[in-house]
Amino acid sequence: MRKILSLVLAVMMMLGCVSIASAEEATGSNVLTMAMGLNPNLDIHWNAGSTGAQLIQLMYEGLYRTTPTGFELAGAESVETSEDGLTWTFKLRQDAVWNDGKPVTAADYVYSMQRLVNPEVGTTYMKDYGQFLKNGLAIANGEMEVEELGVKAIDDYTLEIQLENVCSYFDALLCYSTFYPLRSDVVVEDGTGNWAWEVERSITNGPMKMTACDEEQEIVLERSETYYGAADVELDKLVVKMVDDANTTLSMLKTGDIDLALTYPSEETESLISEGLYHTGPALASSFLLVNTQKEPLNDPNVRKALSLAIDREYLANVLMAGTKEPAVAYVGHGFPGSTADQDFRTEGGDLLSTDVEAAKQLLADAGYPNGEGFPVIECSYGNNTADNTTLFEYLQACWEELGIQTVLTPMEPAAMTELRDAGSFDITNQNWGADYFDASNMLSIFVTGNFINAGRYSSEAFDTAYNTALTTVDNAERMELLHQAEQTLVVDEVGMIPLYHSKTVVLYSDDVVSNVIFDANGKIELQHAVVTGGAASN
């Protein structure tokens, strides 16, 4: 499985383009050491994981950036939209440069977006995001040439983007890293994005740059002196330790080997709060069960409904997960805009999930399995890198045993679990998905027929029709109603997946060591402003 919920690393300035003095300034005393999962993908078009996204947002900058309250222009200084809403024209900042000193031009955005939809490259989000650009989907399907994409450089600092259909939230979508610019002279097409781990090829335009990289051990970012906003970047250096075990990460924090951690064992929550290490903010992310909808008896919607109704999400989130999660009342959580700017999508849609064991038993009987008789043993596969997974599936095992369903739990190494999930070779497993942009459509998009994240192979004409119609609907109230219909189909009528809870963004650090860690509106953290006193680097 490709890890879903996303942030990202800064880039490398070529040695010959900086003076000795500026290099020394970049490695000043404000150094933050943190831990995150293994092998982050640093290619803006191949990354689909939260660890890669964390670093990419530090290393690159697009036309817009996310802020603590929403989003704003970043690499562009202005935008004009045509009367029909199909053409967006951006004036780029003329002081934006790559970390080797070359200017960021409209041609860099054109190259990047053409690469996004190029079927010969076949990047992760080729169709998911390419479909918004004029001719993007036709190009991705091999029906048109990449040069026919509706993205043009009018001049060095004027970029024109034509849309396939009107998209009222296109500005929010442009915050996502897949629309960032790239330099064509540094990219190597190897079908993986591994080129982006090479320091000499890491030519980026964000607040930080990469100066060292061992993707399995440690990655180092330093403040980019060529960034136009360098004076506002507090952090001199970010040292990222690659650790894929929550207990190990917590131990490193306690011993002072790192200053900040993003993962931890949930059973330690109370002690972490009492020690003053626990800091939290909202996250636009959901955790759910992927159910293999192509395998009997899980291909029966009544069976999937029964499995869902047996779960007490309040107990799971607030007791077993020690309040570190928000119980899901639907799939899309709070925080997404609704039919108007002051409305919330979840509030408008209401609660869709409940617990009803007796109703679950009746559904199971209707499916031909009274009291679970004749129901085959279900295998639950999950990554063994976090205690939360064990807690979750031991609870589910007990829930479903009450229906007469027996399960076997199979913890696996994360890499093996990823392979199994991508192949669809499982009965039930868990998954997380965090929003890339501020619209409920992004959460729902991954369950469209054929989406690579949709590892349970859920396919529904009703869901696809509602979702795809919403994409081309101009009236926002009508569009939201279609998205609510799609969600109703997904989690109630057909149960193509089973929502569990919504994540919180949790960051562990001592206020005596780290300050000014900022949560943005998308639940990610802005580390470039962090200030470190003492810390691991001084040990």
Tokens of 173: 């979508």
Whether residue 21 is predicted with pLDDT greater than 50 in this model: the reply is no
Q: Which residues of 133-161 are buried (b: 16+ CB within 10 A; e: fewer)?
A: bbbbbbbbeeeeebeebbbebeeebebbb
Q: Would you say the C-alpha torsion 482, 487, 489, 490 has a positive or negative sign?
A: positive
d(CA 95, CA 76): 10
Q: Average per-residue pLDDT in the chain?
A: 91
β-pair partners for 210: 221
Whether residue 7 is predicted with pLDDT greater than 90 in this model: the reply is no
Residue 457's pLDDT is 96
Q: What is the 3-state secondary structure (H, E, C) of 189-239?
A: CCCCCHHHHCHHHCCCCCCEEEEEEECCCEEEEEECCCCCCHHHCCCCEEE
CB within 8 Å of 275: residues ≥ 6 apart: none
Strands 237-242 and 31-36: parallel
State how far Cα 465 lies from the chain centre: 25
pLDDT in tens, 116-142: 999 999 998 899 899 999 999 999 999
Confidence of residue 163 (pLDDT cuts 50, 70, 90): very high
pLDDT in tens, 187-209: 999 889 999 999 999 999 999 99
Q: Which residue has the higher pLDDT, 372 or 51?
A: 372
CB within 8 Å of 248: residues ≥ 6 apart: none
CB 132 within 8 A of CB 172: no
Confidence of residue 375 (pLDDT cuts 50, 70, 90): very high
Residue 132's Cβ-count burial label (10 Å; 0-12, 13-18, 19+) is: buried
d(CA 78, CA 63): 9
| Average pLDDT of span 348-359 | 97
Phi, psi of 124 (to 5 degrees): -55, -45
CB within 8 Å of 506: residues ≥ 6 apart: 262, 264, 278, 279, 280, 324
d(CA 136, CA 143): 10
Residue 199's pLDDT is 96
Q: Angle of helix 301-309 relative to helix 357-366, nearest 10 degrees?
A: 160
Confidence of residue 22 (pLDDT cuts 50, 70, 90): very low
Looking at the chain, the whole-number percentage of residues with pLDDT higher than 70 is: 95
Q: Which residue has the higher pLDDT, 429 or 384?
A: 429
Alpha-carbon separation of residue 47 from 57, 116, 215, 312 (angstroms)? 12, 12, 14, 34
Alpha-carbon separation of residue 117 from 112, 270, 283, 468 (angstroms)? 9, 47, 29, 19
CB 364 within 8 A of CB 372: yes
Confidence of residue 70 (pLDDT cuts 50, 70, 90): confident
CB 193 within 8 A of CB 176: no
Q: Which amino acid is at 209?
A: K
| Plot region of 193 (φ>0 → left; ψ -120 to 50 → alpha; else → beta) | left
β-pair partners for 291: 428
Alpha-carbon separation of residue 266 from 158, 232, 382 (angstroms)? 49, 35, 17
d(CA 329, CA 308): 12
- CA-based nearest residue to 277, from 509, 63, 66, 527: 509
Residue 124's pLDDT is 86
CB 290 within 8 A of CB 497: yes
Tokens of 279: 């800091």
d(CA 149, CA 144): 9
* Tokens 């470039």, located at residue: 528
pLDDT in tens, 210-264: 999 998 899 999 999 999 999 999 999 999 999 988 899 999 999 999 999 998 8
Whether residue 4 is predicted with pLDDT greater than 70 in this model: the reply is no
Tokens of 128: 């998911």
Q: Which residue has the higher pLDDT, 283 or 367?
A: 367
Query: What is the SS3 assignment for 151?
Result: strand
CB 149 within 8 A of CB 134: yes
Query: What is the SS3 assignment for 49?
Result: coil
Whether residue 401 is predicted with pLDDT greater than 70 in this model: the reply is yes
CB within 8 Å of 123: residues ≥ 6 apart: 43, 45, 46, 115, 116, 178, 193
d(CA 197, CA 140): 26
Tokens of 412: 């696996």
Residue 306's pLDDT is 98
Residue 17's pLDDT is 33
Say what the pTM is.
0.80
Tokens of 338: 């609704």
Alpha helix positions (H), 70-135? 106-117
Strands 71-73 and 31-36: unpaired
d(CA 121, CA 268): 44
